[in-house]
Structure 1
Amino acid sequence: MTRVKISRVTKVPASEAPPASGECPPSGIRLTTDDGDAAMGLRVVGIHLENCGKQDYSVDGYPLLELMDKDLSPVQGISIVQGSGGISTGTGFDEPARPLVLKPGESALSGLMWRNTTESGPTANIPYVRVRAKQGADPVTVTPQLDLGTTGKLAVRPWTRPSK
């Protein structure tokens, strides 16, 4: 007999769940996150946008974010900064935002970055982020498990083309 311990259960509204692998939502846009990377208190999670539809899709600037707690209620008191916000340098987060047109099959990349620094005061652990590729886009709720410590700051990278 094998014993399994469930360490975390997440739930998102079905209408905002990331699409199943290989599935293209009715919007024609697939938005997902990766598993992220963490080292020495610096955390980065990639946000991936794929045009899986039949028409061009334009983005300009940064994805729109809403931080949510375990009950899917909005979290207050966290600054979302465009670019690195001084969290770390050399990460690509400070590249200028440029308009992108994604043809069917093309992708764009953004990301979230933060430090898990804990000093005095309450820590912020944010399980859910509602992401919109742009104003008016359908939201997708992802579960990056942001462990912001006491920093109160989350950086977002502009949409860019993935490196080849």
Structure 2
Amino acid sequence: MRRAFLSLPAALTGVVLLGACGPLEAGAPGAGRAQRQGPACRDAVAPSGAPVSSASPASPAESTGAEGDGVRAVVVDGCPAFEVTNEAARSFTYTVTYQVLTTGGVARAGTERTVATVGPGRTVRRTVDPGASATGADGGARLKIVKVRSVPAAEAPAETGPCPSSGVRVYADDGDAAMGLRVVGLHLANCGTRAYRLDGYPSVRLLDERHTAVAGVRVLHGGASIATGTGADALPRPSVLEPGESARATLVWRNTTGLGSEPVDAPYVRVVAKPGAPAVTVTPELDLGTTGKLGVGAWQKDEASRAPR
């Protein structure tokens, strides 16, 4: 079973009514359903301190409920879109999860879109084309912003694409969940040209939605105190990853919630693979309940697969 995403705070969740791209003339064939005419929807990027360039300015969405974390829903030339504005002092990479719904409220499959390396003071626009199958009987569609996550661009995970300057990729998988038990894999792939040595446990730091360190959670080596048979119980041992080889460590926790305490959520985990390695911030969405502990397994070489170069 795959883990369900955590629910988003109200400030980051909303539904906006959006017209399909391009005008639809009254009485024309197909009136009452969406037809796209005119120029195609386009993405736009603004230089620092300047508005987003576009043939037509963006109009705010009818609902402001979709705004949050520098992301807002807009309409440009009749096209639904969202804008990401970085008000921080360093570059961030944003991941926006949204759904397109028919006017009858039927949700289409969720879509996750990453907007990489948005510099300080910059605004980036990404269009959302609902497509004919997602429109309602009146030619409209609704865009629901489900979740917004952001990590420092210098610490963004790189599962694919060019090999990072460190020579390794570090990223988290989607994990598994069953009966309140959560298991997420941390993966390290040697995409460089030199051998990479590992020995021990990754160092992890839990961060909340505002990227503030989460207090009151014990980080334990191994997962036996939480559950057995998760893959987090093996003792650490030295290993050498040749180019193309990979390793895995495991995060284990339960989301049990007891009375008298507030549940703890930590969407971000800052991972340092070994002493001196650059940090990578992943988003495993830790819903720790009131358990107050997280198990971290040692790095184990993946003997069965080879990482892409």
TM-score normalised according to structure 2 size: 0.52
Measure, in 1, the Cα distance between the counterparts of 2:159 and 2:299.
Answer: 22
**1:45-124 correspondence to structure 2 within 5 Å:** 45-120=184-259, 121-124=261-264
Measure, in 1, the Cα distance between the counterparts of 2:234 and 2:145.
Answer: 40
Larger radius of gyration: 2
Q: Which runs of no fewer than 5 residues in structure 2 stay unpaired?
A: 1-139, 305-309
- 2:279 aligned partner, one-letter code: P
Check the 8 A contact 2:159/2:170 in 1, yes or no: no
Verify: 1:4 aligned to 2:146, yes or no.
no
Measure, in 2, the Cα distance between the counterparts of 1:163 and 1:9.
Answer: 36
Measure, in 2, the Cα distance between the counterparts of 1:39 and 1:4.
Answer: 30
Shift of 1:69: 1.1
CA distance 1:28–1:19, change in 2 (3 Å): same
Match of 1:137 in 2: 277
Match of 1:153 in 2: 293
Q: Which runs of no fewer than 5 residues in structure 1 stay unpaired?
A: none
- The percentage of counterpart residues that share the same residue type is 55
Measure, in 1, the Cα distance between the counterparts of 2:256 and 2:303.
Answer: 30
CA distance 1:92–1:20, change in 2 (3 Å): closer
Measure, in 1, the Cα distance between the counterparts of 2:143 and 2:222.
Answer: 40
Shift of 1:38: 0.4
Please identify runs of 4+ aligned residues in structure 1 that moved more than 4 A.
none
Measure, in 1, the Cα distance between the counterparts of 2:218 and 2:224.
Answer: 10
Measure, in 1, the Cα distance between the counterparts of 2:249 and 2:237.
Answer: 12
Q: Deviations over 1:78-104 (max 9, x none)?
A: 000000141111222111110111111
TM-score normalised according to structure 1 size: 0.96
Give the count of matched residue pairs. Answer: 164
Comparing both chains, which one has the higher relative contact order based on Cα–Cα distances under 8 Å and sequence gaps of 6 or more? 1
